[in-house]
Amino acid sequence: MNSGVDRLESRYALALVKKPMKRCPWPGEDPLYVDYHDREWGLPLHDDRRLFELLILEGAQAGLSWITVLRKRESYRAAFDGFDAEKIARYGDAEVATLLANPGIVRNRLKVLATIQNAKAFLAIQESGTLDALLWDLAGGKTRKNTFKSMSDVPAKTPVSDAMSKALSQRGFKFVGSTICYAFMQATGMVNDHLVGCFRRSEV
C-alpha cells in the first residue's frame, strides 16, 4: 500500500547520496587524494608512531607534491619496517643502499639519512616523554580552528610552526623546516584548515 511512497523515499535517499559534497579544492578529483582529505587530513592525531610516520613523510615531500608521497605511503611503510623507530635507528650502510635502490620511495640520500637520524631523535624524546605531548604542547594543546575561505588565505607557515621547527631541530631532527611543520600541523589536526564551507571543517 505504501510502495509508491517507499519508492519516492528511496529515490530521495539516493539523490542525497549522489549529491556532491563541498570540500577543499586541493584534492581535485584524484580518488586517493579525495579519500585522504575526507578521512584523515585535519583529524587530531595523538599516536606517537603515526606522528613520527607523518613527520617523516612530510619531510620526504620537500620539493615535491604531497600526492606524490601519498601514493608512495604504503611502500614507505614496507621499506621502513612500519616506521618502527627502534629498527630504523639501527640502519647502516646496507639498509641505506637498499632504500636508495627502492623505486617505491623518494630515493634521496639526504632524506633517507634524515629518516634514520629522526628515528634516533624520536627515541631520545621517548626516553622521558612522548612526541605527542611535545608537539601538541608547542601547538597550544588543542586544535586551532581557522576561518579561511580560499586557498590563498592559508599561510605556508606561522610563528607556531617556526617554534616547532626550531624545537625539533634543536632535538636533532632533519627536514623539519617551518613550512614542513605547518603542513604537518594541518595534517594532524593541530590546526583545522578545512576551508569555510568544506563539509569536513565541522567534523574534525
**Rounded to whole angstroms, how far apart are CA atoms 44 and 189?**
4
Element (H, E) at 22: none
Known active-site residue 12: no
Known active-site residue 58: yes
Catalytic residue among 33, 41, 66, 91: 66
Choose among 166, 158, 57: nearest CA to 106.
Answer: 57
Catalytic residue among 33, 41, 53, 58: 58
Question: How many CB atoms are located within 10 Å of the residue 35 CB?
Answer: 13
Task: Kindly state the cell numbers that stand for 88.
Answer: 630504523
How many Cα atoms are found within 13 Å in the side-chain-facing hemisphere of 31? 0
Name every residue whose Cβ is closer than 8 Å to that of residue 125 and which is 6 or more positions away in sequence: 131, 134, 171
Choose among 166, 139, 132: nearest CA to 45.
Answer: 132
Known active-site residue 41: no
Q: Which residues are catalytic?
A: 36, 58, 66
